[in-house]
Amino acid sequence: MPYMMVDIEADGPIPGDYSMICFGAIIVEPELNRTFYGRLKPISDKFIPNALAVSGFSRQETEAFDDPKSVMESFRDWIKVECKVRALFVSDNNGFDWQFVNWYFHHFLGNNPFGFSSTNLGSLYKGLVKDTFVNFKHLRKTKHTHHPVDDARGNAEALLAMKEKMGLKINFE
């Protein structure tokens, strides 16, 4: 089963009322060279300036981004080409990232190619080391920049380190 690390940036806390501004995805494998990046035009007039600021974009810039439906279609099509079987969605904060990706897929396309579940990278690490008070972020190589492809890459590097250095039983086929 292919693992896909996903990271999103949004202008607020929930989909529908607020907008996913951009997202990145990377297929977890040693090369880390299969990536997707999408920038989406806002779907709502509502936004929280401090939340939007994390993305590095202004509201005016986001209004020139791509149509959300076409971005989600492109992402779905990319997933179909890159993953011959259903991929597993993995995220640093899947409670946040998953809700936006899932909502956008269902709202704009009627279904989600990831199915109905996701995995939280932080929880996986906590279980692996049997300590709920630690985090995995020291395993990243790529700096966390809030560009979603960079952040997804760093998280994918952490998952690879869990396999290679810590013995996590996982198959990226």
Which residues are known catalytic residues? 146
Residues 6+ apart with CB under 8 A from 48: 11, 12, 13, 18
Q: Which helix (H) or strand (E) holds 23?
A: strand 20-27
Secondary structure of the chain: what % helix, strand, coil (to 5)? Answer: 40, 20, 40
Say if CB 29 and CB 1 are below 8 A apart.
no
CA distances, 166 to each of 5, 121, 159 (Å): 19, 14, 10
